[in-house]
Structure 1
């Protein structure tokens, strides 16, 4: 392949991956618009997010098998077509469940756009330049979820929510045409005649059940809901059966034996933690900015912009550092420190925190992501054989997505319970014996009386304002606790780097390989 064609192919698959990752978060800010337009409850509308996440996590670990079975070229182009068609149908949806249905199949098509894209990028570079390959693909991994809410907010504010799906159509068509002419078939294919149907069934049932539990648990009060309890048991049984089967047969749908690579195993765990930090920060920060600090969706997007721009350069720099022989352990360590500092800083905010403060702290979050994405991706595939890279990449990507699901689920539950706890503590101070509270109630009551409202109703309105202030403050305090919790998880994960340090060594070209 000529250099020009190689560059065009790399650009195409990275854009496809960005498109898929944008769709993981672009709908978040449009749920209220969808709910009103389709006449559904906000709870039912949230399945638009859940269905896509479930489909993504189911299909990502199967991408290596499907590429081998169907042929990578056919599977990848077919996945783009499915993604584009379902994007079009999502925009055309006339009911919430029609939207959820096509959103699920959009996620099934999108799975290949992440894992196969990564393996194609890695193939285009020699082994000694895996750092550069990881940096290029890392740009897509970082930019997609980061700009998703901003892009979604702009589109829904200025156009209408179906356009968050329609924008995929021209990009997807261009990507499919480009891949038709440029994407080569796998050099090595394992076209076994046997299909691991039981493995596929166990994977779909297990991952689908687990993802549903994580996405819906807090909304439906966890095990108080019978279906959550049933799905939890189902996921444990199915995933246990899946792992036992995949490790014992010669033709697994997901080759878990690649996890014997210590570098892949450690990278997968650290990627899981990184996914938690990446997705929870994208979830928490816009919520705080818009609901508590009063920022518009556009203003919230501006908060994320400086960090996103700097992260692109940091991704390239981290790839160059790896190539020059800098230890990936050192880069990962600095990345974790950036995330720890970001979460600690955000645990110090108040209702008077400025946009400038949040923007500066988000730069550390962005730098942390940039410094982790490249070395972790490189580490994950560095000791794998070429035919094992697609499977290793798929498993590593799955861990990032699962980390995000676990992280958001944990934060949703933790913040809800901390909100209730903080509310009880704050209400205990709202008494007639508390001078500041009493003065404020009297002040609000006089204000409403001056507006012509009777004394009784004025007092009720004054107490309502106090209650709203308590809700706002207790919510903020719960989010502060959540940032601190995520920062603590990153700190607790740092000792894992000792295992990587013991099992890796530097080569002159900067490639990380396993000692085993």
Structure 2
């Protein structure tokens, strides 16, 4: 299916189109992070466990992952303007339904549908902005788009935190509704679709490929999310869905390689650099999304920070990318090999994870977190730009859109899996550390007996009977053990993520590099 023309816009029309596309990109990215600071509040209001409430984050990511590789094809099939407007409308409607949800399963379901609507917004926004500018101004267009990519995720936690502290959690979804409706109207009025040749009839659409992709990702995500709660492979549902995910993956690969009009062109992965870039994108998403997920959760649940403070921390450190990104991009353009920059970024992120594990205490302050997280974004920006440079440097022009779909899909998929695996890891390590700490508590230890007696006396001084005071003292001791075991679990998470990134460094040097500067702009 060939694109016949592109549409370059001028004057105020281009300004409005650019602002509309930026608004949609920011809305989509904002919703990937705005929920993070609300997880603690959602647990209390909807009576959910950490594993259950993490579905609110990952369900959105699953919807994104399913749609991202199909976005280019759907735009050509139905017309970019129509597809973009329909996606915004679905995103907006599901935002309303998310706010009206009364349980975690209901909220997760509408988040999944919201993710399907949002899956088109980011990639299509970039295409609209890029093609609205003449070729000589494409660098400016990409810079405008990157501002949206940075500002959206950065503002999400701050806005979400303010809403949680001053209003109630449904408002974090309701704020999308008026903005989404405005975006729909502007899209229908101003955005135009390029003309395409040879649209596929409905009978030739790769419906089986779409079904297998959704089946594979959905089954695997359920296994990762629920495996811990259901005791993994002792549960029949977990076994069944694990087999379903494996068979679905095999059938999906077979279908896409044999289908005459595949929904996802796997043949482009024959390019070794793109295949490696896809794997590194998954790892990047795992570490980036996973570490972002940890920060507001830890600061609120363990340090009792207000949601606004947790959101402000993430926002300010994320906005540092507005400075870091141009610096790292300039290094790449100056001739620094992307392999060197990527390995340096991996090492910096490892050091950051180690630093993060060392600073975690029951009294860690805002300033300590701030400088450690600023350091984190140096590593992440270096990795992200280098992945784009390495992955796309040896592709033909016609292959770049398919390559971008793969790296975008696997980055989002890595983030969804990362959150699921990290959640399970925290729960399991928490149990392990609790058992170890309890094994060191000796009922005959004078220090512990003295502490229990003092705590019991404090409760008695408040008017509680002797037996009730003793019970409260033991519960308080148990809470201290739980808090300490949770703290150790978060420290373990950072160490594991850090070593995952460090272990990737040797493999980077097996890859070839191409025209780094051009690719950095394309990204």
TM-score, structure 2 as length reference:
0.87
Q: Contact 2:37 / 2:296 at 8 angstroms: preserved in 1?
A: no
Over the residues paired in the alignment, what is the CA RMSD in angstroms?
3.0
Distance 1:426 1:16, change over 3 A: same
Gaps of 5+ in 1: none
Q: Contact 2:156 / 2:315 at 8 angstroms: preserved in 1?
A: no
2:124 to 113, 116, 131: 116
1:491 to 494, 502, 519: 502
- Establish whether residue 314 from structure 1 lines up as the match of residue 324 from structure 2: yes
Query: Which position in structure 1 is the counterpart of 2:5?
Result: none
| Matching of residues 167-316 of structure 1 within 5 Å | 167-186=175-194, 191-193=199-201, 194-316=204-326
Which deviates more, 288-297 or 387-396? 387-396
- Establish whether residue 410 from structure 1 lines up as the match of residue 421 from structure 2: yes
Query: Which position in structure 2 is the counterpart of 1:444?
Result: 455
Following superposition, the deviation at residue 304 of structure 1 comes to: 2.0
- Establish whether residue 354 from structure 1 lines up as the match of residue 359 from structure 2: no
Distance 1:128 1:232, change over 3 A: farther
CA distance in 2, matches of 1:182, 1:317: 35
Query: Which position in structure 1 is the counterpart of 2:164?
Result: 156
Distance 1:95 1:298, change over 3 A: closer
Which deviates more, 353-362 or 156-165? 156-165
Q: Contact 2:452 / 2:474 at 8 angstroms: preserved in 1?
A: yes
Corresponding residue SS for 2:514: strand
Distance 1:476 1:44, change over 3 A: closer
User: How many residues end up aligned between the 2 structures?
Assistant: 509
- Establish whether residue 13 from structure 1 lines up as the match of residue 24 from structure 2: no
Following superposition, the deviation at residue 491 of structure 1 comes to: 0.3
Following superposition, the deviation at residue 217 of structure 1 comes to: 2.9
- Establish whether residue 468 from structure 1 lines up as the match of residue 479 from structure 2: yes
Q: Contact 2:225 / 2:421 at 8 angstroms: preserved in 1?
A: no
Distance 1:180 1:345, change over 3 A: same
- Establish whether residue 388 from structure 1 lines up as the match of residue 404 from structure 2: no
Q: Contact 1:319 / 1:375 at 8 angstroms: preserved in 2?
A: no
Following superposition, the deviation at residue 198 of structure 1 comes to: 1.8
1:166 to 137, 157, 174: 174
CA distance in 1, matches of 2:394, 2:143: 18
Corresponding residue SS for 2:228: coil
Q: Contact 1:276 / 1:405 at 8 angstroms: preserved in 2?
A: yes
- Establish whether residue 69 from structure 1 lines up as the match of residue 80 from structure 2: no
Following superposition, the deviation at residue 385 of structure 1 comes to: 4.0
Gaps of 5+ in 2: 1-7
Query: Which position in structure 1 is the counterpart of 2:492?
Result: 481
